[in-house]
Amino acid sequence: MSLKSPLRRVTYLGSAKGGSGHWFAQRMSAVALVLLGLWLVAALATMGGASHANVVAWLSSPVAAAFAVLLVLVAAWHAVLGLQVVIEDYVGAKGQRLAVLIVVKFVFAVAAVIGVLAVLRIAFGVAA
């Protein structure tokens, strides 16, 4: 039996005065992801049957490389934002919630850097 009043339990630490940035970013990154996805699909569709060298040449053009880097970054960002929502919804214990969140963000940061480096290697001709 708690001696705290119900209102005290509800108001507790007060508002975080945040969350709208996350909400907005989730929507904007979704729009960006749709556009970048369309670009990727359109580009790949025109290259059906192209040789490895052709695809590498295409990806080393500044515009294609820039879009590819953006795609990697936006995809990772959007995934993190989405997973954060799921974690906050379903991981109840406070310490656990923060720990899972940090691990997820770390994993996606590493994945994003690997993705970007992979594109850059092609763009700068290291991999070719």
Partner 1 sequence: MPQFKLPENSRVQPGKTHPAPAGARDVRTFKVYRFDPDSGEKNEVDSTLTFRRSCREGICGSCAMNIDGVNTLACIKATSEIRGDVKIYPLPHMPVIKDLVPDLTNFYAQYASVKPWLQTRTPAPPDRERLQSKDDQEKIDRPSACILCACCSTSCPSYWWNSDRYLGPAALLAAYRWIIDTRDEATGERLDDLEDPFRLYRCHTIMNCAQACPKDLNPAKAIAEIKKMIAERQH
User: Which residues contact partner 1 (rule: CB under 8 A)?
Assistant: 5-7, 9-11, 14-24, 85, 88-90, 92-93
By three-state DSSP, how is residue 75 classified?
Answer: helix
By beta-carbon proximity to partner 1, the closer residue of 32 and 111 is 32
CA–CA gap between residue 128 and residue 123 (Å, rounded): 9
By three-state DSSP, how is residue 62 classified?
Answer: helix
Residue with tokens 């515009």: 63
By beta-carbon proximity to partner 1, the closer residue of 6 and 49 is 6
By beta-carbon proximity to partner 1, the closer residue of 43 and 87 is 87
Q: Least distance (Å) from partner 1 to the CB of residue 82?
A: 11
Q: Least distance (Å) from partner 1 to the CB of residue 11?
A: 5
Q: In this structure, are residues 72 and 112 in contact, taking their beta carbons and an 8 Å threshold?
A: yes
Residue with tokens 């214990």: 93
By beta-carbon proximity to partner 1, the closer residue of 21 and 48 is 21
CA–CA gap between residue 78 and residue 28 (Å, rounded): 9
Q: Least distance (Å) from partner 1 to the CB of residue 80?
A: 14
Q: Which residues contact 23 (CB under 8 A, 6 or more apart)?
A: none
Q: Least distance (Å) from partner 1 to the CB of residue 90?
A: 5
